[in-house]
Amino acid sequence: MATSTEPHVPRHRRPSRRRLSAAGNVLLTGFIALGVGWVLNAPGILKTAEGMPLGWRRDLAVTFAEPVAEISSLLQLDRPREWIQGTIDRSGEDDIEVSLPSPTTVPENSPTTTTRRRRTPAFTPQDPLRAWVGGDSLAITPGQSLIPLLDETGAAAVVGPVDGHVSSGLARPEIFNWPQHLSGVIAAQNPRALVLTLGSNDDQPLTNAPGGGTVGSVGSPAWQDEYRRRVGGLMDTVAIDGRVLFWIGVPIIRDGGRYARGYEFINTIISEEAEKRPGRVYYVEIYTPLSDKGAYADYLPNPSGELIQVRTGDGVHYTRAGANIVANEVMERVHEAFDLDTWRDPPRTTTTRARDREAEP
Amino acid sequence: MLFPTVTFALFFAVVLPLNWLFMPRPARWKIFILAASYFFYGYWDPIFILLLAGSSVFNWTMGAVIHQAQADLVRRTWLAMAVIGNLGLLCYFKYYDFFLSSATNLLDRVGIGISPQIVAITLPIGISFFTFQALSYVIDIYRGSTEPVRLMDFAVFLSFFPHLVAGPIVRASEFLPQLKERHDPRRIDATRAFFLIFIGLFKKVVIANFLATEIVDSVFGSPNQHSALENLVAIYAYAVQIYADFSGYTDIAIGLALLLGFRFPLNFDGPYTATSMQDFWRRWHMTLSRWLRDYLYIPLGGNRGSGGATYRNLMITMLLGGLWHGAAWSFVAWGAIHGGFLSLEHWRRSLRVARGEAEPADTVVTRTARRILTFHVVCFAWVFFRAENFQTAYDVLGRLVSGWGNPSPLVTRSVLLVIALGIGTQYVPKDVLGRVMATFSRFSPVAQGVALGFVLLLIDTLGPSGVAPFIYFQF
């Protein structure tokens, strides 16, 4: 805090050596800077344009960005960008891979498939469960709550910080291709458990459907078929070779209309596809734990009865307390799938719950 | 509309030429710039244009009636109404839920259970900034240091888009006289403007976003899962991140205003070179610290009373300054740390004066020691500012003691280099940048444009994908 009472004199001294410009020259400089910047960054700008929300603005942006990217490539003006990306280990960042895998699991009709007994794999501190946590923006705070809970078991090792990619999902592979990314994660880090949050950006037309088209009208039979294909394909990319996928559903949101128009279909498809893959995929239902008797609530009582804010101002994302609720739900599914307790002597049957630790207003 | 986006670039590419076309006709220019500013603000949520317009009409009216009133009591009454109106608006949007849930939990602890209606109000962007600007106008009229102006002039002052959403907090006395100046379209300080804009973009897109994604968010998200070294470096990284984020925004704002023909006050002046906490507040968010000094600290009595009164005034000012940043107790704690250390410095100075001791010698060693100490006090306070709650802040600080010896994969050479860059550049002498700008200003417009295009290449390629909102937007 400045306690001086001297009047403040804004300092705008301009060294006399600096030349002033005319407005026309300022505009010329500005437009040339934007033009040169555009040509040099053309691959990145094209990718950004492709990732814009569907509509005339995106179409217009892509229409302008595509020829500039072609010219930039033809004249090799995109090389400096490639070189910088290579130098900082981010080669291929501008590549756009839009193909998505289809399911390989054959649906089993017998109801006994969902109750089939299997041996729960056990893990120890010496041989810990390698776990990966990631997804869209809704993955970030719950992931940060989940990592310490997994760590507390003593028999799990998380392979990195939360792998969050905002605005991503399965609807727009040109923005972020999750199956491709997860294949890379599996190859590089070999996790046995993957905790994935996807769906909240998917209530929109599905681009790059087989044949190259876009499947519009969220919730239509065609949209549901294509979304089901993408969900099943991702599950079968990940949940093989003993790996288990925990897929966190979309929570109740303040905009009930949006939930009913899109998220309800999304949650239904994810849960149905998970059911087809018993023991390999677990659907984590968080609509109920985050609702107040079925209704949306910004504040919910914690175990000691205090009202705690669980949702942020946008009515979608979680506060830390809300994230803890999600993390606890995931931990219950994790304990169903894996034995992380019997290595202890005497065996433990419970773990600390994040909600109990979080009692701060 | 965020500054570092294509949308804003298109908006500004249209506004800039029209600004200079309309400038010779002030009446038309004011209508144009007001419409442009409302469009800029309404891009987030058009409904809040009503709030901005309402605030303009209310404060302009309050200024007019205070100016016309003769009796001191009447003037004071109108001033009180203006202050209550402005702070009431701010409290409703920013603090209603916070105070209500805090009060509910407090009453619950003493056995009084209530179930208030918590409404989750959406915070209008920039409300803290334009409310303080409006208050400065009304209070200055009450003090007689500013004359009332026409409603259109006041509305332009309050809503001028470069400073609208995150400052700098420009006072009426700094902006309104510029509306009467003749702006010569042949004499624009474009070099300084372009440097500010591009340096600001680099700070925000490359430095702030890089540090946030590479270390800060992960460590502050789960401090106990990271080593002591990672926690320590994350604290330094956050100090650089918030500086780069906020000063980057105001650099861009000042640069944009310059291109439109207006001068804004500086907001940052190498804050991590400060040799004391008082010095820090003369370098960090200078327009806020001036506001708090002139409209809160000095009216409370400043340092004119006894030592105790000065400490009280410092603490009140800094606690409210902390609360201004956000509706959470951790911001209050941040303000308390700053207030406490400012008081401590004041106490030591008073003691020295009372004993008749001379000022300590200003050598390179003592200055360096003071800078390091000040920087670490500031970093300590940032822990509470950044942490989501007290438990997280305690975890971060506790981990500094208990987490040594663990691997630190997040502490990479790139992270350390960017932190060093963020702090080191604050020590670059101003005349060095001045010489570079002077040389640049002699280039032809085409050469300048090509050079700036290559800077855009660096910014876009080095920055992480996506644009995170500015930290100070939430305030």
pLDDT in tens, B241-261: 999 988 998 999 999 999 999
Nearest to B225 among A17, A147, A166 (CB): A147
Which chain A positions have a beta carbon within 8 Å of B282's beta carbon? 2, 4
Q: Let me know if residue B475 belongs to a domain.
A: no
In order, the DSSP letters of A138-172 are: GGHHHHHHHHHHHHHTSSEEE-SS-EE-TT-SSS-
Residues B195 and B83 in one domain: no
B445–A32 CB contact, under 8 Å: yes
Is it the case that residue A127 has pLDDT exceeding 60? Answer: yes
pLDDT digits (tens, 9 = 90+) for A30-88: 999 999 999 999 998 888 888 787 788 888 888 999 999 999 999 999 999 999 988 88
pLDDT digits (tens, 9 = 90+) for B255-283: 999 999 999 998 999 999 999 999 999 99
Rounded to an integer, what distance in angstroms lies between the CA atom of residue B220 and that of residue B226?
Answer: 9
Tokens of B418: 């960017």
Residues B199 and B182 in one domain: no
Is it the case that residue A14 has pLDDT exceeding 60? Answer: no
A32–B460 CB contact, under 8 Å: no
Q: How confident is the model at residue A13 (pLDDT cuts 50, 70, 90)?
A: low
Q: How confident is the model at residue A247 (pLDDT cuts 50, 70, 90)?
A: very high
DSSP reduced 3-state for A253 = coil
Q: What is the mean pLDDT of residues B178-198?
A: 88
Rounded to an integer, what distance in angstroms lies between the CA atom of residue A261 and that of residue A258?
Answer: 5
pLDDT digits (tens, 9 = 90+) for B197-225: 999 999 988 899 889 888 888 888 778 77
CA distances to A106, A267, A271, A281 from A109, rounded to whole Å, are: 9, 21, 16, 17
Residues B208 and B170 in one domain: no
Is it the case that residue B328 has pLDDT exceeding 50? Answer: yes
Is it the case that residue B34 has pLDDT exceeding 50? Answer: yes
Q: Let me know if residue B385 belongs to a domain.
A: yes
Which chain A positions have a beta carbon within 8 Å of B438's beta carbon? 15, 17-19
Rounded to an integer, what distance in angstroms lies between the CA atom of residue B472 and that of residue B475?
Answer: 5
Nearest to B449 among A36, A141, A320 (CB): A36
Residue ranges in chain A assigned as alpha helix (H): 23-40, 42-50, 56-74, 79-87, 140-152, 178-189, 221-238, 256-258, 264-275, 320-337, 354-357
Q: Which of A221-225, B165-169, B363-367 shows the lowest per-residue confidence on average (mean pLDDT)?
A: B165-169
- Residues A135 and A164 sit within 8 Å (Cβ to Cβ): yes
From B187, B207, B226, the end of a domain falls on B187
Give residues with Cβ within 8 angstroms of B204, minimum separation 6: B3, B4, B244, B245, B248, B249, B252, B470
pLDDT at B311: 86
pLDDT at B299: 87
Q: Which of A267-271, A314-318, B113-117 has the highest mean pLDDT?
A: A267-271
Rounded to an integer, what distance in angstroms lies between the CA atom of residue B435 and that of residue A15?
Answer: 9
pLDDT at A1: 47
Is it the case that residue A3 has pLDDT exceeding 50? Answer: no
| Closest approach of B428 to chain A, Cα-based (Å) | 17
Is it the case that residue B453 has pLDDT exceeding 70? Answer: yes
Report which residue type is found at B259: L
Is it the case that residue A116 has pLDDT exceeding 50? Answer: no
| Closest approach of B3 to chain A, Cα-based (Å) | 14
Residues B408 and B335 in one domain: yes
Is it the case that residue B97 has pLDDT exceeding 50? Answer: yes
Query: Closest by alpha carbon to B59, among B27, B26, B25, B84?
Result: B84
Q: What is the mean pLDDT of residues B461-468?
A: 69
pLDDT at A105: 67
Residues B176 and B204 in one domain: no
Contact residues, B window 269-308, toward A, CB-based 8 Å cutoff: 277-278, 281-282, 286, 289-290, 292-293, 297-298, 302-303
Nearest to B281 among A1, A141, A315 (CB): A1
How far is Cα of residue B143 from the mean position of the Cα atoms in its chain? 25
pLDDT at A9: 41
pLDDT at B352: 86
Rounded to an integer, what distance in angstroms lies between the CA atom of residue A225 and that of residue A221?
Answer: 6
Which chain A positions have a beta carbon within 8 Å of B434's beta carbon? 15, 18
Q: Which of A54-58, A94-98, A139-143, A182-186 shows the lowest per-residue confidence on average (mean pLDDT)?
A: A94-98
Range of the domain at B328: 190-469
Tell me whether B186 touches chain A (CB under 8 Å): yes
Residue of A nearest to B433 (CA): A15
pLDDT at B468: 53
Handedness of CA A138, A142, A143, A144 (dihedral sign): positive
* Longest CA pairwise span in chain A (Å): 86
Residues B310 and B406 in one domain: yes
Q: Let me know if residue B1 belongs to a domain.
A: no
Residues B241 and B153 in one domain: no
Residue holding tokens 């500012």?
B385
CA distances to B306, B332, B370, B376 from B338, rounded to whole Å, are: 20, 10, 16, 12
pLDDT at A7: 38
More confident residue, A99 or B158: B158
Nearest to B445 among A1, A29, A315 (CB): A29
B460–A25 CB contact, under 8 Å: no
Residue of B nearest to A47 (CA): B465
pLDDT at B109: 66
- Residues B133 and B157 sit within 8 Å (Cβ to Cβ): yes
Burial class of residue A158 (count of CB atoms within 10 Å of its CB; 0-12, 13-18, 19+): buried
User: Torsion angle, CA of B65/B68/B74/B80, rounded to 10 degrees?
Assistant: 40
Which ipTM did the prediction report?
0.78
Burial class of residue A78 (count of CB atoms within 10 Å of its CB; 0-12, 13-18, 19+): buried
| Closest approach of B72 to chain A, Cα-based (Å) | 25
Query: Best residue in B169, B297, B461, B475 to probe A by mutation, most A CBs within 10 Å?
Result: B461
Is it the case that residue A221 has pLDDT exceeding 80? Answer: yes
pLDDT at A32: 94
Which chain A positions have a beta carbon within 8 Å of B123's beta carbon? 313
Residues B178 and B211 in one domain: no
Nearest to A29 among B390, B434, B452 (CB): B452
Q: What is the mean pLDDT of residues A336-352?
A: 72
Tell me whether B345 touches chain A (CB under 8 Å): no
Handedness of CA B418, B424, B426, B429 (dihedral sign): negative
DSSP reduced 3-state for A70 = helix
Q: Which of A240-249, B103-112, B177-186, B365-374 shows the lowest per-residue confidence on average (mean pLDDT)?
A: B103-112
Q: What is the mean pLDDT of residues B390-417?
A: 85
Burial class of residue A36 (count of CB atoms within 10 Å of its CB; 0-12, 13-18, 19+): buried
How far is Cα of residue A8 from the mean position of the Cα atoms in its chain? 48
pLDDT at A4: 41
More confident residue, B333 or A348: B333
Q: Let me know if residue B20 belongs to a domain.
A: yes
Contacts by residues A215-220 (CB-CB < 8 Å, ≥ 24 positions apart): A218/A261, A218/A262, A218/A265, A219/A261, A219/A262, A219/A265
CA distances to A203, A217, A262, A266 from A220, rounded to whole Å, are: 11, 6, 10, 12
Rounded to an integer, what distance in angstroms lies between the CA atom of residue B16 and that of residue B23?
Answer: 11
Residues B214 and B346 in one domain: yes
Is it the case that residue B293 has pLDDT exceeding 70? Answer: yes
β partners of residue A246:
A195, A282
Residues B168 and B200 in one domain: no
Q: Which of A14-28, B17-31, B80-94, B400-414 has the highest mean pLDDT?
A: B17-31
Which chain B positions have a beta carbon within 8 Å of A141's beta carbon? 221
φ/ψ bin of B171: left (φ > 0), alpha (ψ from -120 to 50), beta (otherwise):
beta
Q: How confident is the model at residue B462 (pLDDT cuts 50, 70, 90)?
A: confident
Nearest to B105 among A28, A141, A361 (CB): A361
Query: Best residue in B202, B250, B460, B467 to probe A by mutation, most A CBs within 10 Å?
Result: B460
Residues B177 and B309 in one domain: no
Q: How confident is the model at residue B121 (pLDDT cuts 50, 70, 90)?
A: low
Rounded to an integer, what distance in angstroms lies between the CA atom of residue A19 and that of residue B186?
Answer: 11
| Closest approach of B222 to chain A, Cα-based (Å) | 6
Q: Let me know if residue B273 belongs to a domain.
A: yes
B302–A158 CB contact, under 8 Å: no
Residues B183 and B195 in one domain: no
How far is Cα of residue A18 from the mean position of the Cα atoms in its chain? 48
More confident residue, A40 or A4: A40
Tokens of B356: 């008749």
CB atoms within 10 A of CB A330: 24
Q: What is the mean pLDDT of residues B122-150?
A: 86
Q: How much is the mean pLDDT over chain B?
A: 86
Which chain A positions have a beta carbon within 8 Å of B223's beta carbon? none
pLDDT at A16: 53
φ/ψ of residue B218, rounded to 5: -65, -45
Tokens of B124: 């209008």
B263–A12 CB contact, under 8 Å: yes
In this prediction, what percent of chain B has a pLDDT beyond 90? 40
Q: Let me know if residue B339 belongs to a domain.
A: yes
Contact residues, B window 416-475, toward A, CB-based 8 Å cutoff: 434, 437-438, 441-442, 445-446, 448-450, 452-458, 460-462, 465-466
Burial class of residue B95 (count of CB atoms within 10 Å of its CB; 0-12, 13-18, 19+): middle
Give yes or no: B67 in active site.
no
Q: Which of A31-40, A290-299, B119-128, B154-163 shows the lowest per-residue confidence on average (mean pLDDT)?
A: B119-128
Which position among B163, B226, B285, B325 bears the catalytic label? B325
Number of structural domains in chain B? 2
Is it the case that residue B20 has pLDDT exceeding 80? Answer: yes
Q: What is the mean pLDDT of residues B326-346?
A: 88
More confident residue, B46 or B370: B370
pLDDT at B3: 78
* Longest CA pairwise span in chain B (Å): 74
Residue holding tokens 């006894």?
B306
pLDDT at B160: 92
Q: How confident is the model at residue A359 (pLDDT cuts 50, 70, 90)?
A: very low
Q: Let me know if residue B474 belongs to a domain.
A: no
Q: Which of A292-296, B44-48, B265-269, B388-392 has the highest mean pLDDT?
A: B265-269
Rounded to an integer, what distance in angstroms lies between the CA atom of residue A120 and that of residue A348?
Answer: 16
Q: Which of A347-361, B132-146, B429-443 shows the lowest per-residue confidence on average (mean pLDDT)?
A: A347-361
Rounded to an integer, what distance in angstroms lies between the CA atom of residue B188 and that of residue A217?
Answer: 51
Q: Let me know if residue B397 belongs to a domain.
A: yes
Q: How confident is the model at residue B48 (pLDDT cuts 50, 70, 90)?
A: confident
